[in-house]
């Protein structure tokens, strides 16, 4: 009886371990980022594919973000959903304060470079962020634009104080989307972030839409999905 129970416990532990999402370690630090990988319909897991790095909003989780915002993607791609490193409510969150960005901003870029080595990737990855995830997306565009083929930021913001320094040279194009009636992150935050990037020479444009904070899940879902697909196709073609 005891032996059977022990076997069951071992099997249970192995199943739990197998079901855990992987993590990517940041070289030279004790930081790590959890993530999950999804594939669009028809994409082969072993193929060299364009990579979409997707960042959920604060308080959400990677699985829910994929199921509600990215489930209509049709372009063959590897979708890497990174998890915010900060616990927040019942989910995870991305940096908000200048101190948080200083801690996690460069580490995030290093983590993505590790993922590029792990998974065969066509072209440079595309970055998509929503709300708190869009703040990190703006930060990456400002500091590590050479890593990305393009950046899509939805309903986010970034201030000079959060950036904590000058905008770096970037080859990435930034497509920002923001609802005119957003009461969570007012559209002024998106406008300021785009102006900040433009002041440093980054090619950035803001697409305003009639709607609120959750447009990526509702009235803007089709348009943003198409924008992501265009960027993934362009990234693949550049390889």
Residue 39 within a domain? yes
For the four alpha carbons of 206, 209, 211 and 216, in that order, the dihedral sign comes to negative
Residue 44 within a domain? yes
Give the residue from 191, 185, 199, 183 showing the smallest Cα distance to 156: 185
- Mean pLDDT of successive 10-residue stretches along the chain, which has 239 residues: 52 42 92 98 97 98 98 98 95 96 96 97 99 99 98 99 94 98 99 98 98 98 99 95
Angle between the N-to-C axes of helices 132-143 and 187-199, in degrees from 0 to 180, rounded to the nearest 10? 10
Dist CA 52 CA 31 (whole Å): 22
Residues whose CB is less than 8 angstroms from the CB of residue 188 and which lie 6 or more positions away in sequence, other chains included: none
Residue 28 within a domain? yes
CB 141 within 8 A of CB 174: yes
Q: What is the pLDDT of residue 21?
A: 85
Q: What is the pLDDT of residue 1?
A: 53
Residue 14 within a domain? no
CATH number of the CATH domain containing 149: 3.40.50.1820
CB 53 within 8 A of CB 24: no
CB 185 within 8 A of CB 131: yes
Dist CA 79 CA 127 (whole Å): 10
Q: What is the pLDDT of residues 139-172, one digit of tens each?
A: 999 999 999 999 999 999 999 999 999 999 899 9
Could you tell me if residue 89 is left (phi over 0), alpha (psi between -120 and 50 degrees) or otherwise beta? left
Q: What is the pLDDT of residue 6?
A: 54
Identify the domain containing residue 127 by its residue range: 23-237
Q: How many domains does the chain have?
A: 1
Residue 74 within a domain? yes
Q: What is the pLDDT of residue 209?
A: 98
Q: What is the pLDDT of residue 41?
A: 97
Q: Tell me the average pLDDT of the chain.
A: 93
Token representation of residue 228: 């992501």
Residue 8 within a domain? no
Dist CA 18 CA 45 (whole Å): 18
Q: How far apart are the first and last CA of the chain?
A: 59
Residue 9 within a domain? no
Q: How many CB atoms lie within 10 A of CB 72?
A: 13
pTM: 0.91
CB 59 within 8 A of CB 91: yes
- Residue 118 CA neighbour count, 13 Å, CB half: 14
Residue 6 within a domain? no
């Amino acid at each position: 009886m005891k032996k059977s129970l022990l076997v069951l416990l071992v099997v249970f532990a192995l199943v739990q371990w197998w079901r855990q999402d992987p993590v990517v370690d940041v070289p030279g630090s004790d930081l790590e980022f959890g993530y999950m990988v999804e594939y669009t319909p028809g994409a082969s897991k072993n193929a060299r594919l364009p990579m979409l790095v997707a960042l959920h909003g604060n308080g959400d989780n990677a699985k829910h973000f994929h199921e509600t915002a990215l489930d209509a993607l049709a372009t063959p791609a590897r979708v890497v959903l990174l998890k915010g490193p900060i616990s927040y409510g019942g989910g995870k969150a991305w940096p908000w304060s200048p101190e948080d960005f200083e801690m996690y901003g460069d580490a995030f870029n290093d983590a993505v470079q590790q993922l590029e080595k792990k998974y065969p990737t066509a072209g440079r990855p595309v970055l998509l962020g929503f709300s708190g995830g869009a703040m990190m997306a703006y930060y990456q565009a400002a500091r590590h634009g050479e890593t990305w083929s393009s950046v899509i930021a939805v309903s986010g913001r970034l201030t000079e104080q959060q950036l904590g320094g000058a905008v770096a040279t970037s080859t990435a194009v930034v497509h920002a989307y923001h609802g005119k009636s957003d009461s969570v992150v007012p559209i002024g935050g998106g406008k300021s972030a785009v102006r900040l990037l433009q002041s440093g020479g980054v090619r950035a444009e803001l697409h305003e839409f009639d709607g609120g904070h959750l447009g990526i899940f509702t009235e803007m879902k089709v348009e943003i999905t198409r924008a992501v697909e265009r960027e993934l196709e362009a990234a693949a073609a550049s390889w």
